[in-house]
Amino acid sequence: MNRTQATLADGREIFFYDDVPRTRTVHDTRDIVRPDGGSELRWDAYLGEWVAVAAARQHRTHKPATALCPLCPTTDERATEIPQDDYDVVVFENRFPSLAGGPELPLDKPEQALAAGEDLTALRHPGAGRCEVVCFTPEHTTSLAQLDPRRLRTVVDAWADRTAALLALPEVDQVYCFENRGEEIGVTLHHPHGQIYGYPFPTPRTARMLESARATRKATGEDLFARTLAAEQAAGERIISRTEHWTAFVPAWARWPVEIHLMPHRAVRTLPELSDAERDDFAALYLDILQRGDRLFGTALPYISGWQQAPASAGDTDFRLHLQLFSIRRAENKLKYLAGSESGVGVFINDIPPEQIAQRLRESGGTT
């Protein structure tokens, strides 16, 4: 791994990941300070979930002109968040984070407060955790789908390296590496980039998966994720593509018009555990899947794509690392907006049968 670590003018860390070894001298000449506000966690006593409140994010950069993009390389005329005239992949601390450090969050804090008779509507904690930005390329007008496999492999290595680093922090329990793409999704910076969140607790979706995994193990003695992968492979109708180390499929219960899971054949829990061969294989497969997505409706597919990784607190509970990509586009000129039942009570309604979208994705890439 070719990594250079440096510090930005306001004290935030920045990491350069190069495709090949390269010597970098990094000096941020800007006169900047971190925004005031910080973040706070508040307990939702109805759902048993933490909610982050981060007022400083209200002032984050919003749809700047290309000439003012903060993620492009620094030039003689303008200094950006990245104090180099060129780069491959860069990760740095978010200037407007949702989670902004703070003391470690005791995972049993809500139970302690309940047992002590405290007012749960007043249960709060400083916004422990960390938020980082990942820039995939210095090119402003490209996309992750247009990168070559070598660059995407560098991105995978950066995700894995930062996952290991964040999980080593006492205030981080789960790491989520993700990308939001497209204005339809709500993207406000068009430069190809993603984010990494280090949460101080197991996120709600992951916690539900862990509960299901425990129930499956107790009832059948089997691994829920291995069983699901085997069932999808056996059925075949929702498989998009299969390689030596990975299977890409549309889950039978897909909630979104386009929803794709990429799952490794080997039982690994986090990105750092992936072997070199698995990382190379993933880079090639993921590029293929992203390109199929862009051909699906004849336009760039808006999506959210993120790595589901096991929390440190999950212990030996069954969990399988996997990437989930989903899109709100349901037709060439139609988007899916959440209905009242979906937003209000969480019961999703999918307009496209998963088998149908899997077939279309297969056909969009030719021979699988």
Which residues sit in the known binding site? 69, 72, 140, 191
Q: Where are the alpha helices (DSSP H) in 98-197?
A: 109-115, 149-167
CB burial string 271-293: b at 16+ within 10 A, e below? bbbbeeebbbbbbebbbbbbbbb
Superfamily of domain 2-202: HIT-like (3.30.428.10)
Confidence of residue 367 (pLDDT cuts 50, 70, 90): very low
pLDDT in tens, 182-194: 999 989 899 999 9
Catalytic residues: 193
Domain 205-364, CATH among 3.40.50.300, 3.30.428.10, 1.50.10.10, 3.40.50.11270: 3.30.428.10
pLDDT in tens, 349-361: 999 999 999 999 9
What's the pLDDT at 35? 83
Strand partners, 178: 195, 306
Q: Which residue has the higher pLDDT, 297 or 62?
A: 297
What's the pLDDT at 366? 54
On the question of pLDDT at 58 being above 90, the answer is no
Task: For residue 180, count other CB atoms closer than 10 A to its CB.
Answer: 17
CA distances from 352 to 38, 87, 250 (A): 41, 41, 11
Which whole number is the average pLDDT over 273-286?
98
On the question of pLDDT at 368 being above 70, the answer is no
On the question of pLDDT at 172 being above 50, the answer is yes
Q: Are 2-202 and 205-364 the same fold in CATH?
A: yes
On the question of pLDDT at 329 being above 90, the answer is yes
What's the pLDDT at 112? 95
CA atoms within 13 A on the CB side of 196: 28
Nearest to 36 by CA among 52, 58, 7: 58
Element holding 235 (H helix, E strand): helix 224-235
Which residues sit in the known binding site for Zn(2+)? 69, 72, 140, 191
pTM, entire model: 0.96
Give residue limits of the domains in the chain.
2-202, 205-364
Do 71 and 82 form a contact (C-beta atoms < 8 A)? yes
Do 297 and 303 form a contact (C-beta atoms < 8 A)? no
Element holding 359 (H helix, E strand): helix 354-364
Q: How far is CA 311 from the centre of its chain?
A: 14
Q: How far is CA 312 from the centre of its chain?
A: 17
